Amino acid sequence: MADWICLLESTNAVLIGTTDHLSPEMICSHIETHLHVDTLVASRLAEVHLIKLYADFCKAIKLVDDMHIRNTLLLQQAVVHMLPTNTSNTTHCEHPTRNYTATAVPMTTANIARLPPLTEAERALLVEYAGCFKCCRFFTPHVSCDCDRGFPGAVGYKTLTEVDAKVAKRLQGGKQAKVAAVLPSGTMNVFQPVAIVPAVVVMPSAVLGDGSQSECVEAPFFTPHLFVDVIISGSSCSSEAPAHALIHHGCDSVLISPEFTDCIGLARCKLPEPKTVIMAVGGDKKEEFVFKEYEKLSVFSSDQVWSSWSCKAIIALNLCVPIILGGPFLSFNQFVIDHDLRTCIDKKSGYDLLNPPPTSNELS
């Protein structure tokens, strides 16, 4: 936890003077939304979220997280002591978090020191950074069931951290596959001003490292679009309906397709003034669109925990998705988007629209 917060602070320090720089309050919200579920519950019970000073907040979060890790280790040690041992024929028993093979091995000093089980934080890191649960390496082309590297040595083993994952990502460099921003095909045509514009502005290259080893990292051409499953409703509509929406902060308005409008029965209203959009088709040829109608609606998260303020959506033809959540929706609801972590967080509540917390059924 301490290493991760330090990495977050150092990254934020580089962004001082830019629009992407986060205030202490926004960093606190970002930390809370990325806590382990058990740590988050413990911090809420301890009322850590009520602490106003950033330094005191971080200190309290670290203490709560350390206590959670300590309690987990004590519980694991208690379980190990309760398990029966057989000194005559030592075998590797199947562990709930490791895929051991039940084969008899002689008792030696090397296998007396047992490798500790993966923590929830380590498993989350390995999943996020395409790692292997067996050899505990990041960005591997294999999974634990076909891993030929074997388990790491128990002597000198250190718990995996976010810093290890970042180092592995840096060393991976240009070897990673480039992912193109491709919209899924559907029954509706693609609205060209939104669909074909790359969703990221990147530097040609950057030199990373601490001086001991530096590698030239090639930036990608595109990144995936930010899609989210939401529920659309309104005071005038006859029913609620789920929708696969596109979060697009480069769009200056909220757009909705007429087909989806008619599907849920939203009442149409006339715009005070028609909105004209000019789309460059190719060369000197340009095509003009005129929007004349809008409607009022509300957006709910898929788990119905978060709801937006009522917003106005302009009816537009040939959208790539039923609804595009543009600048007015993001600014009016005070969302902060982190393209690196792929988060869209409400500054007031701390709710991450792109990464909703797990439900009770998922936790069980």
pLDDT tens track for 44-87 = 777 887 887 888 888 888 888 888 787 788 888 788 877 765 54
Q: What whole-number distance in Å separates Cα of residue 159 and Cα of residue 79?
A: 20
Q: 241-247 and 323-325 as β-strands: parallel, antiparallel, unpaired?
A: parallel
Q: What whole-number distance in Å separates Cα of residue 245 and Cα of residue 257?
A: 11
Nearest partner of 341 among 354, 331, 330, judged by Cα: 354
HSE-up of 274 (CA within 13 Å, CB side)?
A: 7
Q: Mind listing the pLDDT tens digit for each residue in 246-257?
A: 999 888 899 999
Q: 285-301 and 311-315 as β-strands: parallel, antiparallel, unpaired?
A: antiparallel
Q: Mind listing the pLDDT tens digit for each residue in 197-220?
A: 444 444 444 444 444 444 455 677
Domains of the chain by range and CATH? Answer: 1-83 (no CATH), 226-363 (2.40.70.10)
Q: What is the model's pLDDT at position 336?
A: 93
By mean pLDDT, which of 133-137, 352-356, 357-361 is the weakest? Answer: 357-361
Nearest partner of 310 among 228, 247, 232, 243, judged by Cα: 232
Exposed, middle or buried by CB within 10 Å (0-12, 13-18, 19+), for 278? Answer: exposed
The pTM for the full model equals: 0.41
Q: What is the mean pLDDT of residues 255-282?
A: 82
DSSP secondary-structure letter at 292?
E
- Residue 225, helix vs strand vs coil: coil
173-197 in b/e burial notation, b at 16+ Cβ within 10 A? eeeeeeeebebeeeeeeebebbbee
Q: What whole-number distance in Å separates Cα of residue 194 and Cα of residue 7?
A: 34
Outline where 132-238 has alpha helix (H).
162-172, 192-195
Determine contact, residues 115/98, Cβ cutoff 8 Å.
yes
Compute how many other C-beta atoms are within 10 angstroms of the C-beta atom of residue 11.
Answer: 13
Length in residues, the chain: 364
Q: What is the model's pLDDT at position 284?
A: 65
Which residue type does 41 have?
V
Residue 239 has pLDDT above 60, yes or no: yes
The confidence band for 361, taking pLDDT boundaries of 50, 70 and 90, is low
Identify the residue whose tokens are 């000197």.
284
Q: How many helices (H) and strands (E) does the chain have?
A: 11, 11
345-360 in b/e burial notation, b at 16+ Cβ within 10 A? bbbeebbbbbebeeee
